[in-house]
C-alpha cells in the first residue's frame, strides 16, 4: 500500500520554502499531492490556473509528486481523494498558532480520519513567504533567490503588466 500525503496551500506564488517541504515529504512518502487551493475567500494575486502552472513547473522531475487543485474545504478534498495525511510547513510561532487552529477544526470535522504532520523548512528558507515575495516584486526587487526561475519570470511578467 502506497504511503500518500497531501500538501495543501494557495501557493501564491510557490516559494523555495514550499519546495523544500515538498522535497522532504517526497523522501518520506511514496506520493505527495500538492493540492493548490482555489481559495475563493482569499484574494490571490495569481489566478488558479497560473498558480497550478507555476507549481507544476517548480516540482517537475521530483519523483512521486503530483499537482492537483481543489475548491472548498480541505477535509472534503481529502475524503474525495481518499487521503488522510496532510503535511504543512511551519516557519515561526505565528504559523504554529494558525496551523494549530486549523488542525483542531479539521480534526473536529474529520475525527481520526485525518493525520497532520508539520515540517520546518531548512533554516535558509525560514523567512521566505509568498507575501514577502510579492511585496519585494511590487517594489521592483529581484525575487529570483526566493522562488524557482520559472516563478520569478511569471512574477516579473505579472508586475510588468
Domain boundaries, the chain: 4-160
Closest CA to 19 of 49, 68, 61: 61
* The three three-digit cell numbers of residue 138, written as one number: 511590487
The backbone torsions φ and ψ at residue 92, rounded to the nearest 5 degrees and listed phi first, read: -145, 175
Q: How far apart are the first and last CA of the chain?
A: 48
Rounded-to-integer distance, Cα 59 and Cα 76, Å: 25
Highest mean pLDDT among 1-10, 112-121, 152-161: 1-10
User: Is the pLDDT at 4 greater than 80, yes or no?
Assistant: yes
Q: What is the domain class of 4-160 according to CATH?
A: alpha beta
Please enumerate in sequence order all residues whose Cβ is within 8 A of that of 148, keeping only pairs 6 or more positions apart, or say none: 14, 16, 19, 54, 57, 58
Q: State pLDDT tens for residues 68-82.
A: 999 999 999 999 999
pLDDT at 1: 79
Determine phi and psi for 37, rounding to 5 degrees.
-80, 135
pLDDT digits (tens, 9 = 90+) for 119-132: 999 999 988 999 99
Q: What is the pTM of this model?
A: 0.92
Percent of the chain with pLDDT over 70: 99
Q: For a pLDDT cut of 90, what percent of the chain falls above it? A: 76
- Known catalytic residues are 18, 42, 91, 130
Instruction: Report yes or no: 125 and 15 within 8 Å, Cβ to Cβ.
Output: yes
Q: Give how far Cα 36 sits from Cα of 1, 67, 77, 115, 129, Å.
A: 25, 7, 11, 19, 16
| Structure confidence at residue 78 (pLDDT) | 94
Question: What 8-state DSSP symbol labels residue 120?
Answer: P
Amino acid at each position: 500500500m502506497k504511503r500518500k500525503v497531501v500538501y495543501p496551500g494557495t501557493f501564491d506564488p510557490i516559494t523555495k520554502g514550499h519546495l523544500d517541504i515538498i522535497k522532504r515529504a517526497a523522501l518520506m512518502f511514496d506520493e505527495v499531492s500538492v493540492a493548490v487551493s482555489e481559495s475563493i475567500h482569499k484574494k490571490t494575486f495569481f489566478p488558479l490556473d497560473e498558480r497550478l502552472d507555476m507549481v507544476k513547473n517548480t516540482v517537475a522531475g521530483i519523483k512521486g509528486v503530483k499537482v492537483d487543485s481543489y475548491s472548498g474545504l480541505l477535509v472534503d478534498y481529502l475524503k474525495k481523494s481518499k487521503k488522510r495525511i496532510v503535511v504543512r510547513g511551519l516557519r515561526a510561532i505565528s504559523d504554529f498558532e494558525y496551523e494549530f487552529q486549523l488542525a483542531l477544526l479539521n480534526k473536529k470535522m474529520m475525527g481520526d480520519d485525518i493525520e497532520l504532520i508539520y515540517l520546518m523548512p531548512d533554516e535558509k528558507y525560514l523567512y521566505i513567504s509568498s507575501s514577502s515575495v510579492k511585496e519585494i516584486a511590487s517594489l521592483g526587487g529581484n525575487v529570483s533567490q526566493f522562488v524557482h526561475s520559472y516563478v520569478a519570470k511569471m512574477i516579473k511578467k505579472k508586475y510588468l503588466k
